[in-house]
Amino acid sequence: MIATKIKIVLGILLVEMGGFGAWFLLGDGGMRAQLALKRECVAIESQISDATSEIEHIKYDLKEWRDDSFYVERAAREKLAMSRPGDEVFVLKGE
C-alpha cells in the first residue's frame, strides 16, 4: 500500500516536472521565446550601428558642403557636369 502511494506521488511529481519543463522551454517566457528575442535584439543593434555610421557619414558630407568651397565646386563639376566660364572641358569615353 505504501509502495503504491509512493509510486503515485512520484508519478504526479514526474508529470509536474514534465509540465514545468515544457512550460520553461516552450511557454510565452520560455527559452524559445528568449532566444527569439535575443536574435531580434542583435538584429536591431546591427541596424542601429548601420544607421549611426550612415549619420556620421552624412554629418561629414554636410560639414564639407558648408565649410569647403572646393568640395562644392568639385561636386558641381563631377556630378552636375558644370564648369566655370572659360574652362575647357574634355570628355573621356570608356570602352
Query: Are 49 and 57 spatial neighbours (Cβ–Cβ below 8 Å)?
Result: no
Sorting pLDDT into bands at 50, 70 and 90, what band is 4?
confident
Report, as an integer, the average pLDDT of 63-92: 85
Report, as an integer, the average pLDDT of 63-77: 87
- What pLDDT was estimated at residue 95? 65
Query: Are 24 and 30 spatial neighbours (Cβ–Cβ below 8 Å)?
Result: yes
∠67-69-72 over CA atoms, to 5°? 105
Q: What is the rounded CA–CA span in Å between residue 22 and residue 31?
A: 10
pLDDT digits (tens, 9 = 90+) for 42-61: 999 999 999 999 999 999 99
State phi, psi for 14 to the nearest 5 degrees. -65, -40
Q: What is the rounded CA–CA span in Å between residue 76 and residue 86?
A: 16
